[in-house]
Structure 1
């Protein structure tokens, strides 16, 4: 079973400017990309889960808190599931890999934050979206 992890990027600064890179990320599974911009820093987008689909997140502007829960029973998920938290910012091209079987809640920490989302299925290719109330997993 895969676990969520950060794929670390880096940057290079010289007289020409700054180059952000992630030489460790293999994008060969990515079929779709889009951006998320929350309406404000108080709004939390979630909980949305995917039993089959994988996601990769990267902050291209600002900072995000990404909360994750592992779901084993999709019919009646355990409300006491441990919440895992990651922070992504736009200073490096770090990418958070979220394997199948997780639900996410996403909160921007700065106005104007923008999150790049990559998925391994095309829109409508599979029916794999599970939504839960925002306080469902909060202990």
Structure 2
């Protein structure tokens, strides 16, 4: 079973300015990209999961908490799943890889935060969007 992984970015600065890069990220599987901007910092976007599709997240502006859970049964998931928590911020080019089989809940920490999302399927290529109410997994460990 593949697990979510943070691919750490790096930066370089000199008298010309700064360069942010992530040479360890392989973008060859990416077919689609888009941005998420939550309406405010109290709002949590989730739970949205994908049985087959992979996602990659990177904070383009501001910072985010990304909560992930491995879904055990897509028709009726257990309400007591373990949460994995990741923090992303735009001060570096870290990229969070979320393999297939996970659901996410995303919260921004600053107004106007912007999250880059990359996916390995084109829009409409497959039907693989599962949504659960934000309070469905209230007993997260």
Q: Give the TM-score taking structure 2 as reference length.
A: 0.97
Residue of structure 1 in register with 2:104 after alignment: 104
Give the distance between the partners of 1:73 and 1:39, measured in 2 at CA: 30
Residue of structure 2 in register with 1:75 after alignment: 75
Give the distance between the partners of 1:18 and 1:120, measured in 2 at CA: 30
Number of equivalent positions = 139
Give the distance between the partners of 2:43 and 2:123, measured in 1 at CA: 24
Segments of 4+ moved more than 4 angstroms:
none
Residue of structure 1 in register with 2:16 after alignment: 16
Give the distance between the partners of 2:115 and 2:100, measured in 1 at CA: 19
For structure 1, which runs of at least 5 residues remain unmatched after alignment? none
Paired residues for 1:7-86 under 5 Å: 7-86=7-86
For structure 2, which runs of at least 5 residues remain unmatched after alignment? none
Give the distance between the partners of 1:64 and 1:43, measured in 2 at CA: 12
Give the distance between the partners of 2:118 and 2:76, measured in 1 at CA: 27
* Cα RMSD after superposing both structures: 0.5
Q: Give the TM-score taking structure 1 as reference length.
A: 0.99
Can you list the C-alpha shifts for 1:34-93, whole angstroms capped at 9, x where unaligned? 000001000000000000000000001000000000012101101100111100000110
Give the distance between the partners of 2:91 and 2:136, measured in 1 at CA: 32
Residue of structure 1 in register with 2:92 after alignment: 92
More displaced stretch, 69-78 vs 96-105: 69-78
